[in-house]
């Protein structure tokens, strides 16, 4: 059990039978009445974010989420296959568990898997990834970096908006949190 005074960004708690990660929190002491803590919680399983208010000093259960470094091997159609880097065991993870996060990963890349009670809850992506453009409209003379954007499909199937001067074969750096183009790699 942890108190609301011990809340920190990234801490995982158990509440209402689900596991939540604290995205943001704020201790509030109004002029009148008791202090409270307003927290933004992200459901680790579904990815949904909700705001919740706790009384100051209230205790909640801490969820011990294990982080394992695993290597993404391949997609079988129904499942994604990962290999544990410590004991070399392979694990199949369903498409529903990972959602669109898998589009940031190429084969044979290491990723941090979030596990709770030996069940995969999701992946912890790096802040940015480098992917190659596989399809986009061609750039034309006169297109500038500030003149708008066009959709581009990456080698993993991810579609993002990029500046007009980006062409097929360019290697790009993409922010995984905002899902936006950062710069050329």
Strand partners, 84: 70
């159609």: which residue's tokens? Answer: 77
Asked if residue 113 has pLDDT above 60, the reply is: yes
With the CA atoms of 23, 25, 65 and 43 taken in that order, what torsion angle do they form, in degrees rounded to the nearest 10?
-50
* Same fold? 2-62, 66-124: no
CATH of domain 66-124: 2.40.50.140
Instruction: Give, as one character, the DSSP assignment of residue 57.
Output: T
Distance of CA 17 to the CA centre of its chain: 22
Distances in Å between the Cα of 160 and the Cα atoms of 71, 82, 150, 178 are 25, 26, 8, 10
pLDDT tens column, 71-92: 999 888 888 999 998 999 999 9
CATH topology of domain 128-184: OB fold (Dihydrolipoamide Acetyltransferase, E2P) (2.40.50)
Domain limits, the chain: 2-62, 66-124, 128-184
**146-171 tens-digit pLDDT:** 567 889 999 999 999 998 888 899 99
In words, the CATH class of domain 2-62 is mainly beta
């Amino acid at each position: 059990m942890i108190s609301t005074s011990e809340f920190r960004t990234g801490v995982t708690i158990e509440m209402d039978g689900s596991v939540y990660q604290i995205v943001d929190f704020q201790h509030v002491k109004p002029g009148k009445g008791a202090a409270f803590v307003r927290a933004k919680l992200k459901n680790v399983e579904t990815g949904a974010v909700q705001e919740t208010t706790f009384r100051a000093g209230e205790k909640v259960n801490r969820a011990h989420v294990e982080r394992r470094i695993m290597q993404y091997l391949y997609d079988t159609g129904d499942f994604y296959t990962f290999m544990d880097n410590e004991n070399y065991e392979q694990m199949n993870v369903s498409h529903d568990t990972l959602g669109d996060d898998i589009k940031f990963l190429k084969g044979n890349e290491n990723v941090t898997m979030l596990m709770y009670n030996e069940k995969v809850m999701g992946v912890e992506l790096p802040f940015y990834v480098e992917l190659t453009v596989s399809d986009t409209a061609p750039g034309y003379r006169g297109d500038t970096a500030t003149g708008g954007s066009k959709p581009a499909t990456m080698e993993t199937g991810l579609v993002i908006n990029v500046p007009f001067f980006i062409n097929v074969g360019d290697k790009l750096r993409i922010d995984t949190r905002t899902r936006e183009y950062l710069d050329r790699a």
